[in-house]
Amino acid sequence: MRHWAVWVMAVVLLGTGLFFIQHSVTDAKQISSEVLNWNFKPAKDQQPADADPHYKELLKEYDGVFMGCPQDKSLYLTFDNGYENGYTKQVLDVLKEKEVPAAFFITGHYLTTETDLINRMIKEGHIVGNHSYHHPSLPEVSEERVKRELTKLKEEYKEITGEEYMPYLRPPQGKFSEESLSLSRDLGYINVFWSLAYKDWETDNQKGADYAYEQIMNRIHPGSIMLLHSVSKDNAEALGRVIDECRKQGYEFKSLDDLMMKKTMRKFHP
């Protein structure tokens, strides 16, 4: 593991608020297994998105995130990679040209079929996150299945790439429960949801780069965790223009590691 990654993980674990003490408190109460579907409430005129108060309380308790600081003009670009549709190389080319970091959440299928692309992500400084091995709804499978899904992907990722830094989890299908948040945190993961997304995953219903650009820019706000799908031709073609316009408006693209360090520092220095 890179020395900077070790340092980041130390900060993140410290920032969980003395994890083992929290864990003992969690064990003392009843944890709900109710299946929840992540959603957020977009706002107009670059005002921060919002989410259900109960969802926000759960993320706070179990150290998950869906948005950065709403006073900080930082953007966090993330992609879900369940399978390859031929556009990730183009996405990576744009990110390299523009010097923008991103996080790619991968499944087992992607890991075993797109090794070259994953190695490129690592080489070019991007984060590779866990999207589970088979993409099940985590709150709707057994605890043992959740452990297998997350552990198998991480172990094979290390075997294939030689890297073991994988602290971030994107819950498949956006489904979660208090129980799944607690369990995945116990396994060492930070659940990463989002505050910006649009219906971009339908590969037979692409509407052009201009449409993608408008959908993304209409939802931009300070602290956005942006969820895009790399199977989208529209996203790949609009990405460079999105990056340029966001920077023109004063935004900076940051990594999830940067977000977690800021979150930790705010916890100790509010």
CB 70 within 8 A of CB 48: yes
Q: Could you tell me where the beta strands, DSSP code E, fall in 82-183?
A: 103-106, 127-130, 168-169, 175-176
Residue 248 backbone dihedrals phi, psi, to 5 degrees: -60, -35
Question: Strand 127-130 vs strand 103-106: parallel, antiparallel, or unpaired?
Answer: parallel
Q: Given 126, 131, 221, 229, which residue is catalytic?
A: 229
Dihedral in degrees, nearest 10, Cα atoms 192, 194, 195, 197: 170
Residue 93's SS3 state is helix
229 catalytic? Reply is yes
Question: Strand 40-41 vs strand 50-51: parallel, antiparallel, or unpaired?
Answer: antiparallel
225 closest CA partner among 203, 183, 192: 192
Dihedral in degrees, nearest 10, Cα atoms 57, 226, 78, 100: -130
Cα torsion 62, 200, 76, 132: sign: positive
Cα separation, 88 vs 104, in Å, equals: 10
Q: Given 80, 200, 234, 257, which residue is catalytic?
A: 80
Query: Angle at the Cα of 51 (from 48 to 57), degrees rounded to 5?
Result: 115
- Which residues are catalytic, by number? 80, 229
